[in-house]
Amino acid sequence: MEVPFIDIGAQYKTIKSEIDQAIQQVLEGGQVIGGEEVHDFEKKFAEKSQVKHCISMANGTDALWIALKALGIGKGDEVITTALSWISSASTILQAGATPVFVDIDISTGLIDTDLIEDKITNKTKAIIPVHLHGQMVDMIDIRNLCDRHKLYCIEDSAQAHFASFRDVMPSQMSDMATFSFYPTKNLGAYGDAGCIVTNDYKLEKQCRALTNYGNRGEDKQLGINSRMDSIQAAILNVKMKYVEGWIEQKRSIADRYDRLLIGVQEITTPSAKTEIGHTYYTYPVRCKNRNKLKEHLIQHGVQTTIHYSWILPLLPLFKDLNNKEEDFPVAYRYQNESLCLPIFPELAEHQQDYVVSCIKDFYN
Ligand SMILES: *Cc1c(COP(=O)(O)O)cnc(C)c1O
């Protein structure tokens, strides 16, 4: 049996006629950048995220850079983020001209360890970027308290956490801004690149919009970029937004089922999802003994898995000048060697999931 990690084609088949029609409408209408579709998208996404403003853009990496620039963060500033994430969470800090300061993670969630943040705050610290990795939100009460105590900005990297919540609070509701990616594999994915920022702050909204639009085309001194969402991606996202909550529910059931099926497999630790957290299971990462050998065994049996991530950010060559040391990030280092993301997508069938689990059990027996 073959079990892919994710099956974008399978999902397309379930909504094919609506998607095809939406794309055709854009092409026939002739407005392929901006316009009604993009406007609709911003309105719907803001509504669903329970926030006032949504600014669409080309991808989730631009969204982080634009959020930093909108807050005026640059040379001489420090920005705190997690040791374990996708490269963009930290590379955009460098791109903005500031210095990323990394914090180790919590082994049970893979998220930034909020107890370790305060030690890293200096008089140069301007902001914290918590990353809601795997679809699970960081404790935003802890983050809010730290930001209030030290007068820091907060940008939530929510690229993996569309419609996630923490004690009923969604990304951006306890921070200055939240950034999203609609990369095709994300829980809400376009069929190409797309991203956005959401915020309740009117001034930040204006600022972000200008930054996506050539910095207002030279009408002020601002240095901007061209980062737009095209109308076809917006039309696709508008269709998908009708289904995304259902898909997230399906992923939650699959995650629950993995939790149950893997009870008793001593070599595997399933992800801990605290009940007050509205986990959306972008991924389902387990920690396991002999991770690399298990991954190899699964490949040989047709099961695709991925590692999120096979590096820790502080030790990447890109950040070499910061002289980060492995011993300062022992938990992230351990997590990176033990974690493995199992196949999870709404269309994953029970018999496929049973097969994944039986391959894991075979490996350890
Ligand atoms: C996907 C992702 C990004 C980047 O988004 P792109 O749209 O690919 O630029 C940033 N941060 C995290 C945590 C991500 O998972």
Question: What is each CA distance from 61 to 159, 191, 345, 363, in whole angstroms?
Answer: 9, 17, 24, 38
Q: Tell me the average pLDDT across 320-341.
A: 97
In this predicted structure, what is the pLDDT of residue 107?
95
Using the predicted structure, report yes or no on whether residue 273 has a pLDDT greater than 80. no
Question: 188: which DSSP letter?
Answer: S
Q: Using an 8 Å Cβ cutoff, are 329 and 312 in contact? A: yes
- Whole-number percent of the chain with pLDDT over 90: 95
Using the predicted structure, report yes or no on whether residue 275 has a pLDDT greater than 80. no
* pLDDT band, residue 218 (cuts 50/70/90): confident
Question: Could you give the CA distance from residue 190 to residue 126 in angstroms, rounded to a whole number?
Answer: 32
In this predicted structure, what is the pLDDT of residue 274?
66
- Whole-number percent of the chain with pLDDT over 70: 99
Q: Reduced to 3 DSSP states, what percent helix, strand and coil does the chain have, rounded to the nearest 5?
A: 45, 15, 40
Strand 153-157, strand 177-181: pairing: parallel
Q: Tell me the average pLDDT across 52-72.
A: 98
Mean pLDDT estimate for the chain = 96
Mutate which of 61, 191, 282 for ligand 1? The one with the most ligand atoms within 8 Å of its CB, which is 61
Same fold, 8-102+111-241 and 244-364: no
Using the predicted structure, report yes or no on whether residue 153 has a pLDDT greater than 90. yes
Question: Could you give the CA distance from residue 186 to residue 45 in angstroms, rounded to a whole number?
Answer: 15
Closest residue to atom 5 of ligand 1, CA basis: 60
Domain ranges of the chain: 8-102+111-241, 244-364
- Tell me which residue of 229, 214, 197, 166 sits closest to 71, measured CA to CA: 197
Neighbouring C-alpha atoms within 13 Å toward the C-beta of 30: 0
Q: Tell me the average pLDDT across 152-157.
A: 98
Using the predicted structure, report yes or no on whether residue 221 has a pLDDT greater than 90. no
- Shortest-distance atom of ligand 1 to CA 64: 10
Q: Using an 8 Å Cβ cutoff, are 159 and 181 in contact? A: yes
Q: Tell me the average pLDDT across 181-185.
A: 98
Using the predicted structure, report yes or no on whether residue 148 has a pLDDT greater than 80. yes
Mutate which of 64, 91, 160, 228 for ligand 1? The one with the most ligand atoms within 8 Å of its CB, which is 160
Q: Which fold has domain 244-364?
A: Aspartate Aminotransferase, domain 1 (3.90.1150)
* pLDDT band, residue 272 (cuts 50/70/90): confident
Query: Rounded to the nearest 5°, which phi and psi values hold at 312?
Result: -115, 140
pTM exceeds 0.75, yes or no? yes
Closest residue to atom 10 of ligand 1, CA basis: 88
CATH architecture, range 8-102+111-241: 3-Layer(aba) Sandwich (3.40)
* pLDDT band, residue 277 (cuts 50/70/90): confident
Place of tokens 């529910």: 249
Question: Could you give the CA distance from residue 310 to residue 333 in angstroms, rounded to a whole number?
Answer: 10
Closest residue to atom 6 of ligand 1, CA basis: 60
* pLDDT band, residue 276 (cuts 50/70/90): low
Using the predicted structure, report yes or no on whether residue 37 has a pLDDT greater than 80. yes
Tell me which of 274 and 286 has the higher pLDDT.
286
3-state SS class at 125: strand
- Shortest-distance atom of ligand 1 to CA 193: 7
